[in-house]
Amino acid sequence: MSVSYSIDNMGDHLCVTVQGVISKKDDALEFGISFRQKAEELGLKRILIDCRQARIELSYFESVQLAKHIESSGFIFQGNRIAHLIAPEQVRLFADYKTPAANRGFFFEFFTDQDKALAWLLKD
């Protein structure tokens, strides 16, 4: 099963729902480019990425490579507030990915609780 995603305009933010298996860095980059383009189109800076229904099969090394791949692709996150909504079993993976991503200009927070994710995402 490959990765699929939907992008919904919620008025004050985008909601990206990811399903399936993320097994290569290009899977993540593909939906990243799509939601970034949609956010620019709509003038939205706040993005909720719901990964609870996705299975992520990237090792720590691959997650670092993903951060480098995103940086080298010219993908820019300037001014965006991004919250990842994740399953509890994904916490370690996202914690490991957060620093390499931040070192390359991709800042985000991750949450296992939707209410907390939205509260953080939508606060001024």
pLDDT band at 8 (very low <50, low <70, confident <90, very high): very high
The average confidence (pLDDT) of the chain is 88
Q: What is the number of domains present in the chain? A: 1
Could you read off the pLDDT of 22-75 as tens digits, one per residue?
A: 988 788 878 788 888 899 899 999 999 999 999 988 888 888 887 777 777 766
- Closest Cα partner for 6 from 67, 58, 68, 48? 48
According to DSSP, residue 105 is labeled T
Could you read off the pLDDT of 14-33 as tens digits, one per residue?
A: 999 999 999 887 888 787 88
89 is in which domain, residue-wise?
Answer: 4-122
Whichever domain contains 64, its CATH number is 3.30.750.24
